[in-house]
Amino acid sequence: MLAPFQRTLRPLTCAFALALAGCGQGSDGEFTVAWIGTEQDLQADGVRLSNGGQLVRAATESGLVALDARGEVVPALAERWIVTDDGLSFIFRLREDEWADGSEMSAESVREALRRNLRALRGTSLGLDLSPIDEIRAMTGRVVEIRLTTPVPELLTLLAQPELVLREEGNGPMTLERIEPRPSQRDEVSAAQLLFRFKPPAERGLPDAPEWQDGVRDLLLVPAPARRALKMFDDGDANIVLGGRIDHLPLVDIGPLSRGTLQIDPAIGLFGLRVREAKGVLEEPALREAIAMAIDRPAVMEPFNVAGWSASTRLVAPDLPGDPGLVGERWADQSLEQRRQTAAARVQQYLARQEGATPAAVRLSLAIGEGPGLNRLLKSLADQLAAVNVRLERADDPATADLVLVDRVARFSDPRWFLDQFACSLRQGLCSQQADSFVVQSMNALDPVVRASLIAQAELQLTRDNVYIPIGAPIRWSLVRSGTRGFSPNRYAFHPLPPMAEVPK
């Protein structure tokens, strides 16, 4: 398959270039979305996709199922499915369709496509999430069964991930064209824009409708730096701004006038500091715990003024569906002052053990990106750690940093996603072989009580080893013009493009 950016281009018209040429919003009914990022962020090749690449892949390719605007699973290539009572078998009935090359979309071809995807995802965290898949069977002409070693209630959400599309031959709901900026515009914007257009209903597995085009519109996706994306929205040149993170949140007006415009996702995931290696002041679990104890999480985020943001000292997001409550928040019986006294004492003991003159403070480096929000976060963390004689600085070389900022939204609402991010096989920082063993055992446990206990033991092991310093939930935000349909905040912070390209009725 040709990469999305290599497809045949059409002439650039005023309507297609509305966000750059100033032709006027909606001159031909387009819906414009500004994406905070670069053109490279929207590349949709391979299995390691950026957030922007996931949007592009989900619009132009299809898997068995997909995620809608609310983050809920809807049919795609599979028109319906059933789950057996024991939760170990998912059976899908495929719609009557063909692949983009004209060959039959049979159960056998879907099985082979799924197997290829699973092989390609080996060595990734998503591959670990999918590891309970034991067998994929082609049962009849249009029926496929996925068998599991242990129940995965959220398997449909996993199968809806853009990396799980099948065949990658343009079998999704939309076509894509890359629009180059005109020479007169290149000083202002150098990135190309992406034009998405719905396919006819028959090519989307839907009944044909003579006036179907009245219900859809073209969608123009414009990658832009944060300040320009916000200006496009303010000037009326964009209906929605996507891709907002903590990096550029300070650029947004979050006062009363922005209510109904600034949309904060109730995202779950990881937002904290990962320990790269057990060395220096981070060589022992008790010393790593000292760093975690010193942080006042609500105070770290207070300058961002995000209503409803939840701090946490847990590695796994609290209150997930089915959470048995076996793991709670840390240091609940200690005040911040008591925690910092303990942390300062441990740091001082470490300093006293160093050869030669005792340093005034421990120095730690943090790999953290650039941006007004991240600069503010770094300063807040540095001010807090200074209270226990730790000097936190930005890492000159991320490859040698002591700590790494992790800011990642979960793919599915299950504790195992969180645990899989710290698997030793990923080689992304300090890990625990014992915790990995508990996770593997859980995938062979059919008793739900035993399974929950093993998952809790894995989280407790990672917590005791202090491989990660949680802060709370990741922050994802968008700007959405009043009255816009096809957008909904959701826990996966995933906002597919096709619903936005539907004309509100």
Of 11 and 463, the structure prediction assigns the larger pLDDT to 463
State whether 219 and 321 are in the same domain: no
Q: Are residues 408 and 431 in the same domain?
A: yes
Pair (234, 262) in one structural domain? yes
- Boundary of a domain, candidates 117, 137, 164: 164
Residue 82: the pLDDT is 97
In this predicted structure, which of 18-32, 123-137, 145-159, 215-229 has the lowest mean pLDDT?
Answer: 18-32
Assign residue 249 the CATH number of its domain. Answer: 3.40.190.10
Q: Looking at the structure, do residues 467 and 484 belong to the same domain, yes or no? A: no
Whether 454 has a pLDDT exceeding 80, the answer reads yes
Asked whether residue 52 is assigned to any structural domain, the reply reads no
**Helical packing angle, 285-293 and 336-352, nearest 10°:** 140
Query: Is 445 strand, coil or helix?
Result: coil
In this structure, is residue 55 part of a structural domain?
A: no
Higher pLDDT, 211 or 298: 298
Q: Are residues 357 and 239 in the same domain?
A: no
**Distance, CA of 20 to CA of 157 (rounded, Å):** 36
- Give the closest residue to 149 by CA, choosing from 82, 91, 83, 89: 89
Q: Provide, rounded to the nearest whole percent, the portion of the chain with pLDDT above 90.
A: 75
Backbone angles phi, psi at 257, to 5 degrees: -70, -20
* Per-residue H/E/C for 92-103: EEECCCECCCCC
| Same domain as 490, residue 382 | no
Taking residues 203-220, what's their average pLDDT?
89
Instruction: Report the CATH number that the domain containing residue 125 is assigned in CATH.
Output: 3.90.76.10
Evaluate whether residue 505 is within a structural domain: no
Handedness of CA 368, 370, 373, 375 (dihedral sign): positive
Task: Determine the pLDDT at residue 1.
Answer: 30
Does residue 365 belong to any structural domain of this protein? yes
Same domain as 260, residue 306: no
Residue-range definition of the domain harbouring residue 81:
62-164
CATH number of the domain that 338 lies in?
3.10.105.10
Q: How far is CA 238 from CA 19, 113, 388, in A?
A: 7, 37, 47
- Boundary (domain end) residue, out of 122, 148, 164: 164
141-175 burial, b if ≥16 CB within 10 A, otherwise e? Answer: ebbbbbebebbbebbbbbbbbbbbbbbbbbbbbbb
Stretch 240-256: mean pLDDT: 89
The pLDDT value recorded for residue 263 is 94
Residue 278: CB atoms within 10 Å: 15
Distance CA 327, CA 463 (A): 10
The phi, psi pair for 86, rounded to 5°, reads: -80, -5
Least confident range from 84-98, 118-132, 160-174, 402-416: namely 160-174
Helices (H), 386-447: 415-420, 433-442
SS3 string of 321-383?
A: CCCCCCCCCCCCCCCHHHHHHHHHHHHHHHHHCCCCCCCCCEEEEEECCCCHHHHHHHHHHHH
**Band of residue 180 on the pLDDT scale cut at 50, 70, 90:** confident
Q: Is residue 56 part of a domain?
A: no
- Tens of pLDDT, residue by residue over 368-392, are 999 999 999 999 999 999 999 999 9
**Cα atoms found within 13 Å of the Cα of residue 256, Cβ hemisphere only:** 0
Residues 114 and 126 in one domain: yes
Asked whether the beta carbons of 16 and 176 are under 8 A apart, the reply is no
The answer as to whether 187 is a domain residue is yes
Q: What pLDDT score does 9 carry?
A: 30
Distance CA 156, CA 160 (A): 6
Contact in structure between 105 and 98 (CB atoms under 8 Å): yes
* Residue 288 placed within a domain: yes
- pLDDT for 136-169, tens place per residue? 999 988 999 999 999 999 999 999 999 999 977 7
| Residues 150 and 256 reside in one and the same domain | no
Domain count of the fold of the chain: 3
Same domain flag for 351 and 406: yes
Map residue 273 onto helix, strand or coil: strand
151 occurs within a structural domain: yes
Answer with the one of 130, 164, 198 that is the final residue of a domain.
164
Shared domain check, 142 and 38:
no
Please report, rounded to a whole number, the percentage of residues in the chain having pLDDT higher than 70: 91
Quick one: three-class SS letters along 191-230? CCEEEEEECCHHHHCCCCCCCHHHHECCEEEEEECHHHHH
Residues 6 or more apart whose CB falls under 8 angstroms from that of 50 comprise: 37, 41, 42, 43
Q: What is the pLDDT of residue 229?
A: 95
pTM of the predicted model as reported, rounded to 2 decimal places: 0.90
Question: Of the ranges 26-30, 201-205, 243-247, 317-321, which one carries the lowest mean pLDDT score?
Answer: 26-30
* Same-domain status, 295 and 387: yes
pLDDT at site 21: 36
